[in-house]
Amino acid sequence: MRRKRAHFAIVSCLLLAAQLYAASHDPVAKRIDGILAAPDLARGFWGIEVVSLDSGKIIYTQNADKLFTPASNTKLFTTAAALALIGPDYTSRTTVETSGILDKYGRLTGDLVLVGRGDPNLSGRELPYNLKTARNDHPIQVLEQLADALVQKGVKYVDGDIVADDSYFAFERYGEGWSQDDLVLADGAPVSALTINDNVVFVNILPADRPGEHAFVSITPFADYYHIDNRIITTPAGTGRKIFISREPGSTSLTLWGNVPLDDAGANEALAIEDPAEFAAALFHQLLEKRGIVVYGKQSTRHTELASLSTLTVTAMAPARGGDESSRALPNQPLVLASYQSKPLIEDVRVINKVSQNLHAEILLRLLGREKGSAGTVAGGLEVLHGFLNQAGVPSDQYVFYDGSGLSRQNLATPHAVVQLLRYAASQSWGSSFRETLPVAGIDGSLSDRFPNLDPRTHVYAKTGSLGGVKALSGYATTARGQQVAFSVLSNNFNLPNKRVLDTIDSVVEAIVNEK
Please tell me the predicted confidence (pLDDT) of residue 317.
41
Q: Domains in the chain, start-ordered, CATH in brackets?
A: 20-86+344-513 (3.40.710.10), 91-173+275-342 (3.50.80.20), 181-273 (no CATH)
Give the DSSP H/E element, type plus range, for residue 282.
Answer: helix 276-290
pLDDT digits (tens, 9 = 90+) for 428-478: 999 999 999 999 999 999 999 999 888 889 999 999 999 999 999 999 999
Q: Following DSSP, what letter does each residue of 460-513 receive, concatenated?
A: EEEEEEEETTEEEEEEEEE-TT--EEEEEEEEES--S-HHHHHHHHHHHHHHHH
Give the DSSP H/E element, type plus range, for residue 76.
Answer: helix 74-85
Please tell me the predicted confidence (pLDDT) of residue 424.
98
Q: Name residue 68's amino acid.
A: F
Chain CA centroid to CA 504, Å? 26
Instruction: Assign 3-class secondary structure to 14-65.
Output: HHHHHHHHHHHCCHHHHHHHHHHCCHHHCCCEEEEEEEECCCCCEEEEECCC
pLDDT under 70: residue ranges of the chain? 1-25, 310-331, 516
The C-alpha atoms of residue 285 and residue 298 are separated, in whole angstroms, by 9
Please tell me the predicted confidence (pLDDT) of residue 64.
98
The C-alpha atoms of residue 204 and residue 254 are separated, in whole angstroms, by 13
3-state secondary structure of 448: coil
The C-alpha atoms of residue 106 and residue 111 are separated, in whole angstroms, by 14
Burial string for 430-453 (b: 16+ CB within 10 Å, else e) reads bbeebbebbbbbeebbbbeebbee
The C-alpha atoms of residue 319 and residue 367 are separated, in whole angstroms, by 13
CA 173 to each of CA 305, 380, 406: distance values in angstroms, whole numbers, following the listed order: 11, 15, 15
Give the DSSP H/E element, type plus range, for residue 113.
Answer: strand 112-115
My answer on whether omega of the bond before 236 falls inside 30° of 0, hence cis, is: no
The C-alpha atoms of residue 406 and residue 72 are separated, in whole angstroms, by 4
Are the beta carbons of 491 and 44 closer than 8 angstroms? Answer: yes
| Full-model pTM | 0.90
Beta strands in 152-226 (DSSP E): 157-159, 162-170, 194-196, 200-206, 216-220
Cα atoms in the 13 Å half-sphere on the side-chain side of 198: 26
